[in-house]
Amino acid sequence: MSLIGPSKEKSTPFWAFVSPSEPKIPNIQNTKWPINPIDNFILDKIKKAGHQHSERAEPHKLVRRAYLDLLGIPPTTKQLNSYLENKNPNAWSKLIEQLLASPLYGERWGRHWLDVARYSDSNGMDENIAHPEAYRYRNYVINAFNQDKPFNQFIIEQIAGDLLPAENSDKKREQTIAAGFLSIGPKMLACDDPDKMRRDIADEQIDTTGRAFMGMTFGCARCHDHKFDPISIEDYYGLAGIFMSTKTLIKYNVVAQLHHHDLSTKEEKERRNKISQIEKKISVKDIQEDTKKKLQDEVAILKKDSPPPYEVLAVTEYPTKDVRVHLRGDYQTLGDTVPRRLPPAIAGQIQHPMPNDQSGRLELARWIASEKNPLTARVIINRIWRWHFGRGIVPTPDNYGTLGEKPTHPELLDYLALEFIHSNWSIKAMHRLIMNSATYQQSSFTDESIKNADPDNELFARWKIRRLESEALRDSILFKANLIDLNMGKSMLTASKHKYANRDKLSEHIKSNKRTVYLPVMRSSGYDGQNAFDFPDPAMINGNRKSSTIAPQALYLMNSPLIHRCSNALAEIHKKATSNTPTSNRINWMILHLLSRPATKKEILRAENFIHTYSPGNGQATWAAFARTLFASNEFLYIE
Three-state SS for 198? helix
Nearest CA-CA partner of 419 in 360, 469, 370, 377: 377
Q: Which of 1-15, 40-54, 99-113, 319-333 is predicted with the least confidence, judged by mean pLDDT?
A: 1-15
Q: Are 349 and 294 in contact (CB under 8 A)?
A: no
Three-state SS for 197? helix
Query: Residues 30-51: pLDDT tens digits?
Result: 789 999 999 999 999 999 999 9
More confident residue, 618 or 174: 174
Q: Are 321 and 241 in contact (CB under 8 A)?
A: yes
Q: Are 350 and 3 in contact (CB under 8 A)?
A: yes
pLDDT at residue 5 in the model: 52
Query: Residues 576-595: pLDDT tens digits?
Result: 999 999 999 999 999 999 99
Per-residue confidence at 500, pLDDT binned at 50, 70, 90? very high
534 phi and psi angles, rounded to 5 deg = 70, 35
Alpha-carbon span 53 to 443, nearest angstrom: 9
Nearest CA-CA partner of 179 in 120, 282, 237, 248: 248
Alpha-carbon span 170 to 146, nearest angstrom: 18
pTM: 0.95
Q: How many CB atoms lie within 10 A of CB 561?
A: 12
Q: What torsion, rounded to 10 degrees, do the Cα atoms 232, 238, 240, 243 define?
A: -150
CA atoms in the 13 A half-sphere facing the CB of 244: 25
3-state SS track over 115-140: HHCCCCCECCCCCCEECCCHHHHHHH
Query: Residues 417-464: pLDDT tens digits?
Result: 999 999 999 999 999 999 999 999 999 999 888 999 999 999 999 999
Q: CA separation (Å) from 285 to 115, 277, 279, 282, 297? A: 55, 15, 12, 8, 18
Alpha-carbon span 604 to 607, nearest angstrom: 5
The CA-CA-CA angle for residues 466, 471, 477, to 5°, reads 90
Cα dihedral sign, 616-617-618-624: positive
Per-residue confidence at 9, pLDDT binned at 50, 70, 90? very low
Alpha-carbon span 379 to 400, nearest angstrom: 8
610's CB contacts (< 8 A; 6+ apart) are 622, 625, 626, 629
pLDDT at residue 10 in the model: 46
Rg of the chain, C-alpha, whole Å: 28
Q: Is the confidence at residue 492, as pLDDT, over 70? A: yes
Alpha-carbon span 124 to 138, nearest angstrom: 17
241's CB contacts (< 8 A; 6+ apart) are 320, 321, 322, 323, 338, 339, 340, 341, 354, 360
Per-residue confidence at 615, pLDDT binned at 50, 70, 90? confident
- Residues 273-309 as b or e (16 or more Cβ within 10 Å = b): eebeebeeeeeeeeeeeeeeeebeeebeeeeeeeeee
pLDDT at residue 483 in the model: 98
Q: What does the DSSP assignment read for 256-315?
A: PEE-EEE---HHHHHHHHHHHHHHHHHTSTT--HHHHHHHHHHHHHHHTTPPPP-EEE--
Alpha-carbon span 596 to 77, nearest angstrom: 7
Alpha-carbon span 119 to 535, nearest angstrom: 12
Amino acid at 482: N
Alpha-carbon span 591 to 575, nearest angstrom: 14
505's CB contacts (< 8 A; 6+ apart) are 492, 493, 494, 520
Alpha-carbon span 362 to 174, nearest angstrom: 16
Q: Are 182 and 317 in contact (CB under 8 A)?
A: no
The DSSP H or E segment spanning 209 is helix 194-214
Query: Residues 278-291: pLDDT tens digits?
Result: 999 999 988 999 99
